[in-house]
Structure 1
Amino acid sequence: MVGLPDDDPGEGRGDRGDQEGDRCARGGRGSRDRLAAAVDRLDELEPPFTGYDRKRFGGPTSRQVWIDDVRTTHLAQERARR
């Protein structure tokens, strides 16, 4: 994580995200619910992108990677079961 020189690298948003990912990776229905809630929160914050944005950034947008792909890969199976 990039920060000011006196920042403690052990603290910050990056660590919290890693901890949340670790909890979700352990499996179970509760972790899928937490993952779905986290993706929904991110979806509220992330703006929509256009085809031009994909060209400009040279690949998939953050929305595609962290929202759309996660929903498709990890959450679509759960919704299909319900």
Structure 2
Amino acid sequence: MSKVELIEKMAKDANLSKADAGRALDAAIAAIIDTLKQGQKLTLVGFGTFSVSKRKARDGRNPRTGDVIKIPEAIVPKFVPGMAFKDAVNKK
């Protein structure tokens, strides 16, 4: 499903215009990103938890040449699905 398809589904299910659904989706994504940028956790009960973690610097290998390269430390986003979300996806 693409972002456009998601917006269309949101608009239909919530009885909104596509423009309103698009703005709502963009606002939700922006709020998640802003929260994670501040190093905070965002928990949506029943859906899951968004958080960030630090990945340490490490050595890697260039797959073409085999040369050792330095991979810098990075802050990476994480998502852990909630139990209700897992159950809903696993229901047959």
TM-score scaled by length of structure 1: 0.33
TM-score scaled by length of structure 2: 0.30
